[in-house]
């Protein structure tokens, strides 16, 4: 008895082509999705993100074969899945296992300025970086600080001197 594949070689070739193209776009979508997920965990927009995006676009094009509705549905599903992965990774970074890993920075360097540190600036002369009416920003020795003018309007770029420090407020006046 002859084999079915021998009787219909064209059908066999078409089935093989269909199967290989189906496997190709499925593999492209899976690998592209995985690379974009890797990019979520790595800083910057590098090779995994670019390659993953290109593979996703190629997989959508191969799957849709000109059907715009199918392409839009696939894009919507992929975007929804990526949003779910992103929300899970954000939750994990804040409260889950990822928070305990070395991928998440736990310590932030913040300058600690106390009242004694601010008293250092009493008598120092600087420049008004913004208009002081009465509050604004002044620069002293290369450091920008929030300042409060002694009552007068002081224009941007004018020389100012620190008169006193009251708590966390630096009171300034025009330089003599």
In whole angstroms, give the CA distance from residue 175 to residue 135.
16
Q: Which CATH number, 2.40.50.140, 1.10.1660.10, 2.60.120.10, 3.40.140.10, labels domain 115-174?
A: 2.40.50.140
Whether the ω angle into residue 134 lies within 30 degrees of 0, i.e. cis, is yes
Q: What is the pLDDT of residue 15?
A: 46
Q: What is the pLDDT of residue 127?
A: 93
Chain mean pLDDT for the chain = 79
Provide CATH 2.40.50.140 ranges for the chain: 115-174
Q: What is the pLDDT of residue 138?
A: 92
Q: For residue 60, is pLDDT > 80?
A: yes
Q: For the chain, how big is the Rg over CA atoms in Å?
A: 32
3-state secondary structure of 120: coil
Q: For residue 144, is pLDDT > 60?
A: yes
Confidence of residue 5 (pLDDT cuts 50, 70, 90): very low
Q: Give me 61's structure tokens.
A: 């094009």
């Amino acid at each position: 008895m002859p084999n079915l594949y021998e009787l219909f070689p064209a059908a066999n070739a078409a089935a093989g082509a269909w199967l290989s193209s189906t496997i190709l776009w499925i593999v492209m979508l899976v690998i592209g999705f995985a690379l974009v997920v890797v990019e979520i965990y790595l800083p910057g927009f590098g090779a995994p993100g670019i390659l993953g995006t290109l593979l996703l676009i190629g997989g959508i094009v191969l799957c849709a074969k000109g059907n715009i509705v199918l392409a839009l549905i696939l894009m919507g599903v992929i975007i929804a899945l990526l949003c779910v992965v992103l929300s899970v990774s954000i939750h994990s970074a804040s409260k889950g296992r990822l928070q305990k890993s070395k991928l998440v920075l736990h310590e932030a360097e913040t300058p600690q300025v106390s009242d004694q540190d601010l008293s250092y600036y009493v008598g120092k002369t600087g420049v008004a970086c913004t208009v002081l009416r009465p509050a604004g920003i002044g620069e002293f020795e290369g450091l920008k600080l929030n300042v409060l003018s002694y009552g007068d309007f002081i224009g941007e770029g004018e020389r100012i001197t620190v008169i006193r420090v009251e708590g966390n407020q630096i009171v300034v006046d025009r330089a003599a």
